[in-house]
Amino acid sequence: MNFELKTVSLAQSSRLAVDALLVIVPDAWAGEKSADDPLSLLLRQVTEHGDLEEGTGKYLMCYRPVGFKAARLLLARAGKGSPAEVRKAVTTAMGQLRQPGLRKLGVVLCALDDVAASLFPAMAAVADASYVYTTTKPSAKAASVREVMVAVPAADAVRARFEHASAAVHGVEVAREWANRPANHATPTMLADAAKALARKAGFHCQVLGEKEVEKLGMGAFLAVAQGSAQPLKFVVLHHQGGRKADAPIVLVGKGITFDTGGISIKPAAEMDEMKFDMGGAASVLGTFAALSRLKLPLNVIGLIPACENMPDGRAVKPGDVVTSLSGQTIEVLNTDAEGRLILCDALTYAERFKPRAIIDIATLTGACVIALGAVRSGLFSSDDALAAALQEAGDAALDPCWRMPMDEEYAEGLKSNFADMGNVAGRAAGSVTAAKFLEKFTAKMTWAHLDIAGTAWRGGTNKGATGRPVPLLLQYLATQSAQGADAPARKKSPGRR
């Protein structure tokens, strides 16, 4: 989808040559009293007669209105005009604009007080509502909207925010595409090939390690998960070298289980098809790098994607097996369905070699996080207050929120094992927290945070599909860190109680 930013006054918006015109109107705004342009006249009339109700998401559709070039005009209320209200207004409005002939859409934000803050929610809502998955569904009709003109009072004043919003929307689309693909169309090899293609196009450096290289490194936990699958594992290393060579990078680690049966601890058959989404963390890393390819932030970023399947083959790892991780710590595999943490722990240890200023892993890790936070907020785990605060602020700003969860040391008690340095599970209670405590054991030398996106990476039911989260959060965090410069924030450890 192509977005264009254009300087247009509210009075001029009626002249926009588009198939449909969407005008976002705050409740408190009813048009300039003295203005005689077609839009102002119409707004005064519909407000006076009560045809355009107040309240976020209320709308009025007009067909071939007098004085407008667009065949369809949709007026949509946005409450007080907050970013969240703008997103809701555009989402609702897009539900009314599904005509097959709609190729070019105009979105008018001129009536809003904070146009800059409204760009991303408006553009993201248009893209989300227009998205159609077609890769393995040839009968699906691709989105009809191809071009979106975003009308603002002064384009130059919000150009940087527009470029960020465009990059974020593109990154979300890439993440959704790969997470939505069936597992036989998104194998570890295919995921690695997608990373290499992205790197070639963007000028990134990309390295892909196979089983022999991973075995030579000593990634025993990663190898254990992959050994039950006929599909070979891949370990992807992406480099965005936007800063100085000496600048410490930020490392993003994405869980890439391209299909998760649970292994020997097999999952129930119901909804197991949704386990193609278990590489949502990997997809979000690809999406974030796709966004970086457009923004070109002056920042060093490394993406690590351990990718494999978790299958119940005769060679598969068994409950009770003990494996040796890259860190040298041994792990008793009490449940083979807790495999994500096993591939992540080796990737986290691998990340030490880059001496990162911060490392963030992103994973569809636990059903317990879904129970705790639902589909609204991703779970945020970190013992570093500065990093946790920066991620939470980024999520709030990007309308991709997370919530910081506790990391008290007592939660790690259940990970103790009689036969290894630790077990890979600690029972049902506080399962998302104990999973994070497991990962923490491999990050002692780094400033680290973990995002559990099990509840936010995809939707189920009739609207089943990937969301592309948390690409907006990650890109906002990286943009903020880039603006702050190369010096990492002061590290402040927290006992985890909030």
Pairwise CA distance, residues 387 & 273, whole Å:
35
CB atoms within 10 A of CB 231: 18
Residue carrying the six token digits 């299909």: 259
Query: 330-332 and 234-241 as β-strands: parallel, antiparallel, unpaired?
Result: unpaired
Give the torsion through C-alpha atoms of 227, 229, 231, 234, to 10 deg: -40
Task: Please give the Cα distance from 492 to 498 (Å, whole number).
Answer: 15
Q: Which DSSP symbol is given to 51?
A: -
| CA distance linking residue 102 with residue 104, whole number of Å | 6
Give CA–CA dist 382/449, Å, rounded.
5
User: Please, are residues 242 and 485 in contact by the beta-carbon 8 Å criterion?
Assistant: no
Residue 421 confidence (pLDDT) = 98
Question: Which residues have a Cβ under 8 Å from the Cβ of 498 and sit 6 or more positions away?
Answer: 404, 406
Q: Taking the CA atoms of the chain, what radius of gyration do you get in angstroms?
A: 24
> Hey, what domains does the chain have and what are their CATH numbers?
2-154 (3.40.220.10), 169-484 (3.40.630.10)
What is the pTM assigned to this prediction? 0.95
- Write down the pLDDT at residue 119: 98
Q: How far apart are CA 258 and CA 310, in angstroms?
A: 8
CB 455 within 8 A of CB 369: yes
pLDDT in tens, the chain (498 residues): 899 999 999 999 999 999 999 999 999 876 667 788 999 889 888 988 889 999 999 999 999 999 999 999 999 999 999 999 999 999 999 999 987 779 999 999 999 999 999 999 999 999 999 999 999 999 998 778 989 999 999 999 999 999 999 999 999 999 999 999 999 999 999 999 999 999 999 999 999 999 999 999 999 999 999 999 999 999 999 999 999 999 999 999 999 999 999 999 999 999 999 999 999 999 999 999 999 999 999 999 999 999 999 999 999 999 999 999 999 999 999 999 999 999 999 999 999 999 999 999 999 999 999 999 999 999 999 999 999 999 999 999 999 999 999 999 999 999 999 999 999 999 999 999 999 999 999 999 999 999 999 999 999 999 999 999 999 999 999 999 999 975 544 444 554 433
Instruction: Using alpha carbons, select from 288, 200, 265, 239 the residue that is nearest to residue 424.
Output: 265
| 267: annotated active-site residue | yes
Helix 471-484 vs helix 385-397: angle between axes, to the nearest 10 degrees? 120
Of the listed 6, 15, 103, 267, which one is catalytic?
Answer: 267
CA 423, 424, 425, 426 torsion-angle sign? positive
Tokens of 249: 């990078």
Query: Which DSSP letter does residue 435 get?
Result: H
How far is residue 321's CA from residue 418's CA, in Å, rounded to a whole number? 12
Of 77, 88, 341, 437, the active-site residue reads 341
